[in-house]
Each structure stands twice: as structure tokens, then as C-alpha cells.
Amino acid sequence: MIYYIVEKKDDQLYLIENMLDKRYTLKTETNFSQCNGYLGVRASFETKMLHESRGMFVAGFYHKAGQHEVTELINCPDLIEMDLRINDEDFYLDTCKINGFTRKLNVMTGELDTYVDFDLTKTKNIKLRSRRFVSLKDRHLICHQLEITVAKEAMIQIVTGINGQITNSGVSHFDKVENRVFDQKYMYTKNRCDDEQLFEAMTVCGAQEALQNSSFQLKRRSVLGDYQYNLDAGKKLVFTKYSYIDTGTINDHSKIEAMQQSLINCEQMGYDNLLKEQIQSFDKLWKYAKINIKGATLEEEASIAFAQYHLFGMTPSDTSDCSVAAKGLTGEGYKGHVFWDTELFVMPFFTAVFPNIAKNLLKYRYKGLSGAREKALNAGYEGAMYPWEAAKDGREETPLYAALNIHSGVAEKVWSGIKEHHVTADIIYALWDYYKLTNDKEFLQAFGYEMLIETANFWCTRAKLSDVTKLYEILDIIGPDEYTEHVDNNAYTNYLAAENVKLAYEAMSALKVASPEVYHLFTEKYKLEDNIVTWKTFLEHIYLPKVNKDGIIPQDDTFLSKKKISDIERYRESNLKQSILKDYSREEVVNMQILKQADVVMLLNLMPGLFSEEVVKKNVKYYENITIHDSSLSYSAHAIACANIGDMELACDFFTKAMEIDLDTNYLDSNDGIHTASLGGIWNCVIQGFAGVKYSMGYVEIKPHLPNTWEEMQFYLMIKGQYVKIMITNKKIVLETDQHLNNTKEKLQFLINGEFHQLEEKLEIKR
């Protein structure tokens, strides 16, 4: 059940709270975060609350606060907080008498709109509306407007500026802070890290009306403007605050003038015109991103749009210097690190609809090759092994040890950074998906081939030839299911590793024939001829787990011999994640047939042709029965798998659960940030699951399994530079080309109902 009220009006979709339940403060701060891929601002209320967790994060703005700390996304100085006093009395949501309250996020525009009608002790009947958005047109901008009306003439005092006392839960990142006020108006801060990174912000505040007094004050690490107004009864005080944020290094050219110019421009435009621009910018995205479904519930429609709103918000759009953090730009969770979530959960949306953004995400991994090489080398392997957690560069950022066990005092090793290796193959999988859909040979040549070669080389040294079986085995590994550790031949990892090597082998073999001159660019650096032989041998001898006598694909060599437990439902239904660890030790859980999250099921989704339909069905059911879904990545994977095998009841059930990961009524969830993988997974459910879209080299397969209630769904894919509108009903599939981004208008191939079709301009196929 979704906690928020959903409203649709004039094609806008709103998530709404119409009362203030303070238990949900942190959850809503996260969910209603305003992010534009560069900047993320939590939806904290302007005035301070007893429970709150303010945060602003800038993509790629990482820092390590000391040798004992982990590199993390910096929680930046706050620009949202305002002290509001009316007739010399403080206004707080915690303490005022609230007569009316509405807070809504328009997921189509990213505007957060809060309305409070309240009484103070001395002043009654005050109406406050706050609206704000982070700009999509200029991603450095926050536009913010308060409107206040009073029933009787009143003195309104607003104190706001730049608060640099914000820390990451008590850890400060800046070692030098300078504050200024330019032209008696523009507050500015320059915050420097010890590694010469710089955060700059400038803000300008004010209202046209009846300013009585304004002054500026300096507090430690903060600069504040104090604005006092005499507001007549019934008149509206419109107080705007425009803030410009930038990051860089101390060697960069100072941004002060440009920042100020941007703010002057905002002042001239005004909030409403800036909002119009925002709507236009979002409309350009939604034109191809929006999935229109007849028959979907309003909650389904809003949840999908909410997921996409956040997909836009979490993903850097115009740089390849950073990637998607596990909580996007919405909280301190997971320290802003980049996991496989990006490539397998978030990227598919961009690969399919905005491939240039997907390309940036892949280029980020290309830039991370040196870190991946370093990681491989340190672990005794060749080639490039991608880090389990990445941040600024490609280095492994997973801490070696977890926090001390508070009772034993022992700091346990964090094995995921050491032993969870499938991320390397996942990245290559995503790379190839991108290539299949874009045919972007330039990307391959500039970046992709190297990634393929280096990762294939890694796997060839990671796998060891067994004396017994004479096969290459991948021993002592952690697969996607983190409730098993140190196992041998995790099926997911072995298959994906083989796919990785196969793609490298095929790509380079094909390149040698097609473009020998390009091929030769790589031969010197990589001893390609030798590599290709190695890859071939690897592919001939890699151990790929087969179904057992019961038709089950073993998750790893020992998994199916472990005991099951009967009372899994209580853990699945628990409001708390990982509740099983309260009843069993980690050691015990590792020795059970219990999955934290989809593992073999992920494999079945990613490599759909691998097993017969019957085996797939059997395995989806088998593993579903023993999966707790303690990871937010799991529901969407199972939803896709169930849709693909046509079990629509389960598919819809999992889809609902995936939609509710962030939006449900459990106020303990999402407090430290959204679940980016799950949000990506929602789009994947719809497109890969219900629409049944799969990419192959040279064609796209569409094999829909729509939920019963859905009469028609319509969405766009960009295939080889052409936007294709796809409409699916129970009776037909209609394909139509739209915008062409490249000159060569290639005819696109589709596999539908087991038959190939070629799209020229429009194609209608009966189901």
C-alpha cells in the first residue's frame, strides 16, 4: 500500500501528504527529494523540525574525511533552511497549531509544493505556501519561493542563507570555509576540502513588498540574511530565494561572477517563469520517457512516473566523471557509492530511451579501468576487476572491515569488496546491451573494446582449471545472493563470466575481420592474439552449472545440499530487513537454502535463451519459495521472471511490492535515501517484464505479458538512433518510428510472435 495520495490533474502526477505525520518525515524527505542528476536536495521543510535529516548532495562530489573514514558523498551546506518568525514568535511545524497541511511532489516537473495553514500563540490564521525545484535547465540552480498571508497585519521575519554547519552524521568534510556578501545582497560561500576540492554556493533572497529591514550575519561556517517585512492583512508576501551551487577544485577559475549573473537572471525571470522553463525541460524528457497505460491504476501510473522522476534525478546526464549512487543524491546511505545497481537496474531505462546518458555511465566505467586493473593486480589476477563499490575513481571503496561488532569488539571483514566479483561481468553485460540497441561502433572502438579485453582477461585468471573436472571453475565467490558466501561456481557468476569472455572473443574476432586496422590498434597493447586463444580455451572449458535431476539449476556447488527452513514467511513479511539474522547467526544462514535476493532468477532474466521454458518456470518457482527478498533489488527481478513465464498473478504481486519499496506505509524505509536499483527495476518490470522487450544483436524481441487490467501500454524505445513508439494491447502490437537522431535511417528488425518484422514507418501486428 502506497503511503501517499496520488492525484492526476492536467496530465500532472502528484504524490501528496495531506496531513503531517511526523513519523514519515525522513521517508518523505527522501521520496520528495528534488534531484537533477547533478544536485540532490532532500525535501526537508524550511523551518527546523525535531526529527529531520537535511541533506544536499552533488553528483561525484566525494571526499574521505580521514584515514579511518570511507570516501563518501559530501552532505553539502544547506540552502533550504529558513527561520521564520511572525510577530516575534518562532514558527515550527512541531509546535504550531496546524489547521491545514498539504505537501505534494509533482513527479512530472519535480516541483515540491507545501501548504500550511496554522496558528501561533499570538498570531492566528497564517497561510504559508512553499514551492521549490532544482532546475533541469541549469542544473546548478535551486529556485525557491515562499508565499505568506496573514489575517491581521504582522511583522514577518525570515532568516536564511547558507548553513555550512551540516555534516555527514557528525563528520565534517570541509577544512576551510569563507563566507561573503556581495553588493549587500548576494550571499556566497567557498568551502574547501583538504584535497583541494571546492564547494561554492551563492544565494539571493528577498521580496518586493514592504521590506522593513535586512542585514547579514556571520556564524561559524554560515552566512545568513535577516529580512523583516511588515505585511498587511490579506496581502501576500512573496519571498524568493535563488541559489547557485558549483563544485570543482581550487585551481578552477572562480565562478563568482557567473554565479551572480545566473542569480540576476533568476531575479529578472521570477519563479513562475523559471517554473515554466522547468516544465518545458521536463516535457522534453517525458515525451519519450513516459509510459502510457490504459487500465493501469492511478497508483501504478504514479509509481512508474515516480521511478522515472528519480531515475532522471539520480543519473548524471552530461558527464562521465561520476555515476549513480546507490541512494542517488537523496541521502547518506551507502555513502553515495556506485554498485552493480547502476548497470543492471538503472541503466536499462537510459540504454533504451536516452542512450547518450547510458553511454556516459559506461564511460565512467571506462575511466575506472585503471582502478579495476589495480584491484585485479592486488588480488593476483590479470586484466580489470571492477570494484564492488566505486566512488570518484575506479578504486575499490568497499571498507575492508565493518564497524566493530559492539558486543565482541571484532570487526568482521566485509567480503563483498573482496569476493563479490560478478559486477565486472554485469558491466560488460550492460555495455553489450547498449551496443545491441545503439550499434554504437564508435563507442566500442574508443572505450568498449578495451573494457571487453581487460575484463575477459580478468575472468580467465580468476577461474582455475580443476585437476578433477579439467574445467575452469570459479571458486570462493559470492554471487548476487549475499546470504551465501565463499561458495564455488555460483551459477550466475559463471554464466555471466562466460558471457563476458564470449562477448570479448566474438567482438575482437569480428573486428579482426571487419576492421583489421582498428583491430591492430589493440594488438600491441594487449597481445590480442594470445588473449583470443586464451579466451577460446576458457570458453571451451568453463564450467557452466547444469540443471540437476529435478530440473533445478544449482545456485552453486553446495547450495542444493543445504537444509531448508519452514518458517520463511515470517521473515518475508517482517517490516524489518534481515530479520532472519535476529533468529539465526550469519554462519547458520549461509548454510541454509535461503536467499536474500534473486540470484539464479537474475540469471534467467539476463540470459533468457539459456534454458528451456520449462526449466525457467521450475527454477523461478523453486527459488521464489526460498527467497526472503531482503534486498530491494529482488522484487523487480522476480516480477520480470514471473511475467516472462506468464505467471501474471505472482508477477503483478512482485511488481506491486517493487513499486512500494520506497512508497509504502513502512516509515522505517528509505530514511537514508531512495532505492535506486528498485526504482530502475520498476521500469524494467514494465518494459522487460510486461512488455517483454529483449534485445538481440540486430533485432528487438517483444513478447508481452500484460497484467489483466492493462488494456494498452505505449512507450518509446530508441533503437539505433531512432525513436520507436511501441503500442501493445491484448490484440495487437503497433510500432511506429518517430524522431531520427542519425542520418542513416536503418530499417529496424523486430521479433514478434516468433516472426521477424521489419519496421519502416509503421507496423501493426496481431497478437
Residue ranges binding a second copy (CB under 8 A) = 22, 48-50, 65-69, 90, 92, 94-95, 164-172, 175-176, 178-181, 184, 192, 194, 216, 218-221, 223, 403-404, 406-407, 409
Residue 223 CB, shortest distance to a second copy, in Å, is 6
Residue 39 CB, shortest distance to a second copy, in Å, is 21
Contacts of 454 (CB under 8 A, 6+ apart): 369, 372, 373, 383, 384
Q: Which is nearer to a second copy, 171 or 547 (CB)?
A: 171
Nearest to 233 by CA among 250, 210, 249, 254: 210
Single-letter amino acid, residue 617: K
Are the C-beta atoms of residues 134 and 34 closer than 8 Å to each other? yes
Q: Please, where are the H alpha helices in 130-219?
A: none
Return the bridge partners of 411, or none: 404
Are the C-beta atoms of residues 534 and 460 closer than 8 Å to each other? yes
Task: Give the separation between CA 460 and CA 497, rounded to whole angstroms.
Answer: 9
Query: Among positive and negative, which fits the CA dihedral 688, 689, 691, 696?
Result: positive
Q: Please, where are the H alpha helices in 84-126?
A: none
DSSP class of residue 68 equals: T
Buried b (16+ CB within 10 A) or exposed e, 637-660: bbbbbbbbbebbebbbebbbbbbb
Residue 220 CB, shortest distance to a second copy, in Å, is 4
Q: Which is nearer to a second copy, 411 or 510 (CB)?
A: 411
Task: Give the separation between CA 617 and CA 638, rounded to whole angstroms.
Answer: 12
Task: Give the separation between CA 356 and CA 166, rounded to whole angstroms.
Answer: 35
Nearest to 37 by CA among 440, 312, 291: 312
Single-letter amino acid, residue 386: Y
What phi and psi, each to the nearest 5 degrees, are found at residue 37? 90, -25
Q: Which is nearer to a second copy, 36 or 203 (CB)?
A: 203
Q: Which is nearer to a second copy, 399 or 551 (CB)?
A: 399
Question: Which helix (H) or strand (E) covers residue 499, if one does?
Answer: helix 491-514
Residue 199 CB, shortest distance to a second copy, in Å, is 13
Grid cell for residue 595: 536467499
Active site residue 482: yes
What share of residues in the chain are helix, strand, coil (percent, to 5)?
A: 35, 30, 35
Nearest to 530 by CA among 383, 420, 642: 383
Contacts of 505 (CB under 8 A, 6+ apart): 456, 532, 535, 536, 539
Q: Which is nearer to a second copy, 256 or 552 (CB)?
A: 256
Nearest to 675 by CA among 221, 333, 426, 405: 333
Nearest to 34 by CA among 81, 92, 93, 80: 80
Residue 150 CB, shortest distance to a second copy, in Å, is 22
Nearest to 144 by CA among 125, 160, 127, 164: 160
Residue 205 CB, shortest distance to a second copy, in Å, is 15
Question: Which helix (H) or strand (E) covers residue 34, if one does?
Answer: strand 34-35
Residue 100 CB, shortest distance to a second copy, in Å, is 19
Q: Which is nearer to a second copy, 220 or 525 (CB)?
A: 220
Residue 156 CB, shortest distance to a second copy, in Å, is 19
Q: Which is nearer to a second copy, 48 or 512 (CB)?
A: 48
Grid cell for residue 356: 547518450
Q: Which is nearer to a second copy, 94 or 147 (CB)?
A: 94
Q: Is 220 exposed, middle or buried (0-12, 13-18, 19+ CB in 10 A)?
A: exposed
Residue 165 CB, shortest distance to a second copy, in Å, is 3
Q: Which of 72, 454, 482, 660 is catalytic?
A: 482
Active site residues: 482
